[in-house]
Every structure is written in structure tokens, then in C-alpha cells.
Amino acid sequence: MKKLKMLFFFISLVSITHATDIQVSQVEYVHSDDPEFIRGINVTISWKNSWHNDRNHDAAWVFFKFVSKNGGSRHAYLAPGSAQQNWKSRAATPDAQLQVAQDGTGIMVSPSDTYRGELSYRLFIALDTARLNERYVNYLNNVTIEGYGIEMVYIPEGSFTLGDPDEAALKYGAFYASDDNGEVSGLFKVEKENEPINVGPNKGSLYYQAEDAIYQGDQKGPIPAAFPKGVGGFYLMKYEVSQGIYADFLNTLSSQMASVRYIGGTPEYATVGGTIVLEGDHFVAKSPSERMVFWHWDDMMAFTDWAALRPYTELEYTKAARGTGKPQAHEMPWNTTDDAKMLRRINAKTHRMEMPEGYDESMLNENNRGEFGASHYWVMDLGGSMWEKVITVGDSVGRSFDGQHGDGNISYYGMANVEHWPSGYGESFGYGYRGGGYYGKAHISNFNPYSPIAYRLYGAWSGGPRNAAYGYRAARTLK
């Protein structure tokens, strides 16, 4: 890297995003008219309840936008390998592990060694000047640099097992390994990431029962080699998308795009926990840490493209919940076999995730994660909060998904524009539901709102209106 010269100036502002306690602040665009000067971004990244242990670690996915005061934005692309740690808040904390994505869309920040607690790092990251829109960013009076952060959990590389040893799971579309006649010969182990999986009533193939192809799937295949299966390591959002980061998303869009993606005018929105309002020309989330509600698939895909992430698959859902362990009968996403008797983190009638007074996530550990609804890898709320919308293996549209990431920019009409991502509102194709969701009332079935990991009664259903019980989180494969 070239040595930084001293002739430079900053555009400085505080940009705080919400996905619980994560903060991306003191964002400074460092630049100069000197052609030898390395343009870049100084930024402070902080979050609570971080960890790095023998099993896995959490992380912050951080990305930047040049935002016009007149509306609209451009993604700021980073130079791979250019990130530097300037300081950390405490000497006792480990240095940051810094991984700029190869496509330059963002940086993954995580503790590099064993740790548990709060983290804060000051970083410098060089911009990819070859991709810098000079004409856009040179209007310095009308353009600012903004930073955004999303808490992630690393799901390590490793094989895992689909299905449930309880025979009752079969009527809910649970996966199994087939014999020569399509009957159960055992559970199905997923061992390789980049090889196809045969599907059908043939010995050794993946199979499942489907009373209705629209709901459980068409029982066809194969699942292609490029389909993300969960064997390779990937990052998954620690929580469902928050209202705070969605408001940030809206604030970077042109008025035309935002009018398509803002759903606050819907009468039911506020009654099911939605708090995003338009104040003047700025969107504000009154409860920024609460989950995003009442949005549909195309909203989710536009957000995901904007954040340079990708949707995740129902196979990855199983890996993130269960890990590499042996499946238990009626196993829940926090790896116990009872419904929710030990859960203290619950979806309340206010449509918010609540815990008893005195409980907070700093207390989460391997012995009590069933009380917090935390998965094997400490991903939160994979069951009992909102139905997880995931890419399905149950139709050809879903199976064509090849794991491409968003590039940070969406279409003029406010749509994601990534090849092989499912799209469409209403009875479309390509995604389904896992995990169970809370509709603001008591249990309405024996798998809702707390659905066992293997249950996929709606694993291939791409329907459903806007609803308080339908949620979403996104993933990222570092490459």
C-alpha cells in the first residue's frame, strides 16, 4: 500500500445503525487532489455481546454509501486487502480480523481470538478508486458518506444431517434418505458443498413426502452443485432484519424507489409492531432494534441487494440451527426436544421479542441458550419469532439459486437485480417458510409458532400476504 500523504481533508459525520447495539460511527471520507493519495474511509465500529470461542464467532458486516442530499445513493466499493486497524477501545480485547470481500462491497469485522464482551475498533479502509464514481462524489456539498453495520454469526464448514428421527415428522415434509421405493432408509447427510444432490424415490437420494407440491415441494431435482447447501462456511445475520436498518435503507433511495419500498401507510402496519414513519423527507424507526414486520419478498430482496448480502437456503437453515450434531426427535432450533417450556425470550402480544427483567444477552452461554432461543451457533430466533423465508429446494426456481450476492445497488424501480434470485409478490416461486411464526395469539397448531427444525409444511410455499409473522434474515459467503 502506498504511504499516506499529509495533504488531505475529511467529510465527517456520525452514522449510527441499529441491529441491536451495533454502531457504525465517526465515518470520514479521506481524500485529496493529489493523485498519489490513497482515498479511503476512517470509521469506528462497535457492538456488544461479541464472542470468539472454539465453536465459532460473531462479526459485523459493514458497508458504505455515498448518499445524495437530493435523494439516491451510490455504493462505495472497497479495495480488498486494504483494511487497517488504527486502534481498539481496550488493550485487553483481541485485534480485529478484517476481511474485505473480494467484490469490494463491504468488510467483515470480527474478534481474531478468544473473547466475550463489547468491542470497538477504529479502522481505515481504502476505496477501490477504479470503481469510484468521481462525478457523483465530487459534489461534496450534496453528497455524504454513510456507514451501515449488521451483526452476523459465522456458521463453520462441516457436514450435517437433514431430517428428524421421529416418524411423525414425515407428514410435515421432513427430508430423509430414500430406499429403492421412496420409503425411509434413514436420515440424509449433506457432506459436500459443490456437488449436486439427487432427489427422488431412489436408493440413497434425498426425498420427502408432499401432500401438496405447492406447500412441501415438487419432489424433483437434482439440487445443483452451485446451490448453497451449508457445508461450506458462511455468515448469517444474528437477528432478523431490524426496523432501524430498513429505515436506513429507505433513506438512501430516491423518492420513487422509497415509495415502492415503504409500507408504513398500510393501516395494519402500526398495529402489528411497525414503527417506521416519514418525518419530513426522512424515515425514522421509532423502535429501531425491533424486527422488520409486514414486508413482502420483493422488499426483502431489494434490501438484501442494497446490503450486498444474499438470501439463504432451507438447507443452510438446518445447518445454522442444528450444527453438525446428531438429530434428535422433535428437535427445536435451540436443540432441545421440548416445545418452548424453557424459553424466556418470547414473542409478546406487543409483537416484540421480550425477556424477563434482569435477563440480557450478556448472560447467554452454552448451558442456558435454550432459554434465549439461541441455535447451536448462537443465531437468535430461528424459531418462535417470525417464519423464516428461505430459498426452497422444492421447485425449479428455488433450485436455480446459485448463491450470488447483491452488489449494493438496486434497480431504478426499487427492485433487486441479481440473476437467479426469486422475485414476485403473491403466489410466486422460489422460496418457502421454516421455523414457525407468532401471529399475536396462542398456538394455532402443533408446529406454530415453535416449529421443529425438520418440519417444512410450508417449505416450498411462496405465497402469503404481508404479515406480522413473516420475517427474514440474509447471509454472506466470504469470497
| Residue 4 reports pLDDT greater than 90 | no
Pick from 214, 224, 266: nearest CA to 428: 214
Neighbours of 32 (CB within 10 A): 15
**What is the rounded CA–CA span in Å between residue 242 and residue 149?**
11
Cα 241 to chain centroid distance, Å, stands at 7
User: Which tens digits make up the pLDDT trace of 306-357?
Assistant: 999 999 999 999 999 999 999 999 999 999 987 667 788 888 777 788 888 8
The three-class DSSP label of residue 154 is strand
The distance between the two most distant Cα atoms of the chain, rounded to a whole number of Å, is 74
- For every residue of 247-315, DSSP letters joined together read HHHHHTS-HHHHHHH--TTSTTTGGGT--EEEETTEEEESSTTSBP-S--HHHHHHHHHHTT-B--BHH
The band of 139, judged by pLDDT with boundaries at 50, 70 and 90, is low
On whether the CB atoms of residues 315 and 230 are closer than 8 A, the answer is yes
- Mean pLDDT score of the chain: 90
Cell of 58: 460473531
pTM, whole model, 2 decimals?
Answer: 0.94
Most confident range, picked from 11-20, 64-73, 134-143: 64-73
DSSP class per residue in 329-343: TT--TTS-SSSSTT-
Taking the C-alpha atoms of residue 111 and residue 93, their distance in angstroms, rounded to an integer, is 8
CA separation, residue 101 to residues 79, 107, 151, 236, 308 (Å)? 9, 6, 16, 15, 10
Cell 395469539: give the residue: 441
Residue 325's SS3 state is coil
pLDDT band for position 442 (cuts 50, 70, 90): low
**Residue 72: pLDDT over 80:** yes
Lowest mean pLDDT among 58-67, 195-204, 303-312, 461-470: 461-470
Separation CA 27–CA 124 (nearest Å)? 10
For 77-118, the pLDDT digits (tens) are 999 999 999 999 988 899 999 999 999 999 999 999 999 999
**Contact of 337 with 330, CB cutoff 8 Å:** yes
Q: How many other CB atoms sit within 10 Å of the CB of residue 313?
A: 27
Rounded-to-integer distance, Cα 176 and Cα 183, Å: 9
Inform me whether the pLDDT recorded for 8 exceeds 50: no
Amino acid present at 314: E
pLDDT above 70 for 389: yes
The whole-number average pLDDT for the span 208-237 is: 97
Tell me if the bond preceding 327 is cis, omega within 30° of 0: no
For residue 216, what is the enclosing H or E element?
A: helix 213-216
Of the candidates 40, 54, 47, 45, the residue with the CA atom closest to the CA atom of residue 1: 40
* pLDDT band, residue 16 (cuts 50/70/90): very low
CB atoms under 10 Å from CB of 355, counted, come to 17
- What percent of the chain has a predicted confidence (pLDDT) above 70? 93
Q: Measured in whole angstroms, how far is the alpha carbon of residue 5 from the centre of its chain?
A: 38
Question: Residue 361 gets which letter from DSSP?
Answer: G
Please, are residues 313 and 393 in contact by the beta-carbon 8 Å criterion? Answer: yes
Strands 160-162 and 176-178: unpaired
Tell me, what's the pLDDT at 351?
A: 77
108 forms beta bridges with 61, 99
Q: Closest Cα partner for 415 from 291, 281, 305? A: 305
Distance CA 144, CA 73 (A): 9
Give which of 177, 173, 172 is closest to 394, Cα–Cα.
173
The percentage of residues in the chain with a pLDDT greater than 90, rounded to a whole number, is: 74
Compute the Cα dihedral for 471, 247, 358, 121 and give only its sign: positive
DSSP string, 111-168: ESSSEEEEEEEEEEEEB-GGG--HHHHT-TTTEEEEEEEEEEEEE-S--EEES-SSGG
First to last CA, the chain: 21
pLDDT of amino acid 341:
73
Q: Is the pLDDT of residue 19 over 50?
A: no
pLDDT of residue 444: 59
**How does pLDDT run across 177-204, given as a tens digit for each residue?**
999 999 999 999 999 999 999 999 999 9
**DSSP 8-state secondary structure symbol assigned to residue 69:** T
* Residues sharing a CB contact under 8 Å with residue 316, sequence separation 6 or more, in sequence order: 155, 228, 229, 230, 234, 236, 390, 475
CA nearest 76: which of 308, 250, 414, 416? 308
